[in-house]
Structure 1
Amino acid sequence: MQILNVFLVIFLIVAAIMVERTKDLLSAVIIFTSYSLMMALLWLLLRAPDVAMTEAAIGAGITTNLFVVVISRTRRTEK
């Protein structure tokens, strides 16, 4: 189980760096969504199911929808 936690933390670090480095905003939102889902899984493994459900609902659900709506109303790529 410890190896899975280490893998998830490494994934979270890589995903955070990738979100910051990518120029395509929709790709950044997709990476951020995967970050939120992995964070929810990590909270679940740490025996915090209430925090995991909140992270999944707000972080991966509502925030992703808001970002996609905003991107659809603006330009998709950064200058």
Structure 2
Amino acid sequence: MIWEFNFAMFLFLVICAIAAITVRNLLSAVVIFAAYSLIMAVLWAEMNAVDVAFTEAAVGAGITTVLFIAVVSRTTRRSKD
């Protein structure tokens, strides 16, 4: 394993985690969460846990992201009246 690659992926993972909880826009949070799941899948594959990486990519970055985007698209903003 290349430790520089793993360290860079870990830094991106931490940045995505912090960004996902601090961003105010819901759609942006969903996209950042999808990136987080994709980076986790890459890290799992790098650790030779291919079955876990495949599941993370399919469920975390795939199905969950589609469901979150569907939910966000059905929500409306409250007016500031």
Return the TM-score normalized by structure 2: 0.91
What is the letter of the counterpart of residue 62 of structure 2?
G
Stretches of structure 2 lacking an aligned partner (at least 5 in a row): none
Report the CA distance between 1:54 and its aligned residue: 0.1
Deviations 1:19-74 (A, max 9, x none): 00000000011111011001000000000000000000000001001100100110
> Stretches of 4+ moved more than 4 A in 1?
none
Matches within 5 A, 1:1-79: 1-75=2-76
Equivalent residue pairs, number: 77
More relative contact order, 1 or 2 (CA 8 Å, 6+ apart): 1
What is the letter of the counterpart of residue 41 of structure 2?
A
Report the CA distance between 1:76 and its aligned residue: 6.2
* Partner SS state of residue 39, structure 2: helix
Cα separation, partners in 2 of 1:2 and 1:42, compared to 1, 3 Å: same
What is the letter of the counterpart of residue 61 of structure 1?
G
What is the letter of the counterpart of residue 20 of structure 1?
I
Identity of aligned residues (%): 52
Stretches of structure 1 lacking an aligned partner (at least 5 in a row): none
Report the CA distance between 1:5 and its aligned residue: 0.4
Contact 1:25 1:76 in 2 (8 A): no
